[in-house]
Amino acid sequence: MMKLIRNGVVYGPEPMGRKDILIVGDRFGFLDDTIAVPFPDRLVTEVIDAQGKYVFPGFIDGHVHITGGGGEGGYRTRTPEIVLSSLIKAGITSVIGCLGTDGAARSLEALYAKARGLTEEGVSSYILTGSYRVPIVTLTGDPMKDIMLIDLVVGAGEIALSDHRSAQPSLEEIRRLAADMRVGGILSGKAGVMNVHMGDGPRGLGVLREIVATTEIPFSQFLPTHVNRNERLFLESLDYALAGGCIDFTAAPDAAGDDLTAAVALRRALDAGVPAERITFTSDGQGSLPVFDERKELVRMGVGQVDTLFREVRDAIRDQGVPLATALGTITRNPAGIWRLKGKGRILPDFDADLVIVDPSTFEIETVLAKGRTMMLDQRILVAGTFEPDGPAGRLRPSATVAGPAPSRTSA
């Protein structure tokens, strides 16, 4: 199977100019100014005209509660799981699922199964072992074994620090977990990164800084997230990044304090001299976004939406003057590098054929391909999740099954 994307203005995420892209199977095959395919009627199954449109790599969201999250307001505030079409409409073709506050009623087994289901439906899915708590919940009983032996596990998290909902772990506990993740990652060829939920407590990033300063564990072992939640933590995160660490800005507006949206935080971080490749955006999709008062009592709660991911990239470009390739890198090249997602985050030959076509005048996502499969075309979902209304199960009669062999018939 071959598909041809014609005449798009390609950012891979670096600017590449106007190109044709030939997709062979589930990979990018060739990129050139013009691609002529012999016997196109026989070899090319689909041609998409991207004339005048931007063509981007598929987006990577490194922090989504794919099985739901929350519960800080009681059982009725447990947030729902993600559905495929939400990811596709947001241009997300690769997702890293995680647990959060609740590592008791929500399980890693369910997280793994959900990631498998999303992969079968068409996107690339990975997971993190653990939750807020330390010692962490695991699949095998050992965090190092999880990352070495469970194919979809790429790291740990989200581990809560400086937060009243955390397990208040000691420095030694975090250091031991980081060491296990590092060795497990080395042995398995994975990232082994710890996704660290940063609360608004006064200790801030101190634990991570101390581990790096007093051990051989490098900055690259940690990715602190939500660091744009308030001005104090944001400024501390700039020092952390300038010293060598990577930082993640949460795109969900309810998670940003003091008007520190991800777009504004990116502009300010770049102005402070933070290397662009050390910055990522994530959505915190399907996670709860609780707001607590000074007594740590719940005031209100929102739910993270994955469509904020590209919205903040757009705002960084349009409102903050961040170069397109730099802003786009926060959800393509940068997370692919930090999480070691092979074949992801770039438009290059032999990389996975994940791409997003965007109207440059509106910055609306129009078309999405995941591993060479057209998931959305001209803002029309072609591939919905199994149990969505337009998915395979939703189109069947109530008595029908989702899949399986046809019943055999025997003659009398």
DSSP 158-188: EEEESSTTS----HHHHHHHHHHHHHHHHHH
pLDDT at 409: 38
Average pLDDT, rounded, for the chain: 92
Domains and CATH numbers, the chain: 2-56+345-381 (2.30.40.10), 59-338 (3.20.20.140)
Q: Residues 101, 107, 110, CA angle at the centre, nearest 5°? A: 125
pLDDT at 147: 97
pLDDT at 405: 43
Average pLDDT over residues 244-271: 87
Residue of 164, 66, 173 lying closest to 115 (CA atoms): 66
Identified catalytic residue from 20, 146, 248, 284: 284
- What pLDDT digit, counting tens, does each position of 118-140 carry? 999 999 999 999 999 999 999 99
Other Cβ atoms less than 10 A from the Cβ of 310: the count is 27
Task: Grade residue 301 by pLDDT with cuts at 50, 70 and 90.
Answer: confident
Residue 228 DSSP SS3: coil
- DSSP bridge pairs for 10: 17, 55
Alpha-carbon distance of 306 to 295, in angstroms, equals 30
DSSP 108-149: HHHHHHHHHHHHHHTSEEEEEE--SSSSPP-SSS-HHHHHHH
Alpha-carbon distance of 13 to 346, in angstroms, equals 6
Alpha-carbon distance of 56 to 345, in angstroms, equals 9
Report CA-CA distances (Å) from 160 to 148, 223, 317, 398.
23, 12, 31, 43
- What pLDDT digit, counting tens, does each position of 24-77 carry? 999 999 999 999 887 667 788 899 999 999 999 999 999 999 999 888 888 888
Which pair of tokens denotes residue 20? Answer: 């044709």
pTM of the model: 0.92
Contact indicator for 40, 282 with CB cutoff of 8 Å: no
Sequence-ordered list of residues with C-beta below 8 angstroms from that of 246, at least 6 positions apart, any chain: 219, 220, 222, 223, 278, 279, 280, 338
Question: How is the beta sheet containing 124-129 ordered, strand by strand?
Answer: 59-64, 92-97, 124-129, 153-161, 193-198, 222-225
Region label for 321, one of left (φ > 0), alpha (ψ between -120 and 50) or beta (otherwise): left
Report CA-CA distances (Å) from 39 to 10, 36, 284.
25, 9, 46
Residue 244 DSSP SS3: coil
User: With the C-alpha atoms ordered 127, 131, 135, 140, is the resulting torsion angle positive or negative?
Assistant: negative
- What pLDDT digit, counting tens, does each position of 350-391 carry? 999 999 999 999 999 999 999 999 999 999 999 999 999 888
Average pLDDT over residues 145-169: 96
Q: Is 284 a catalytic residue?
A: yes
Q: Tell whether the model's pLDDT for residue 202 goes beyond 60.
A: yes
Q: Tell whether the model's pLDDT for residue 412 goes beyond 50.
A: no
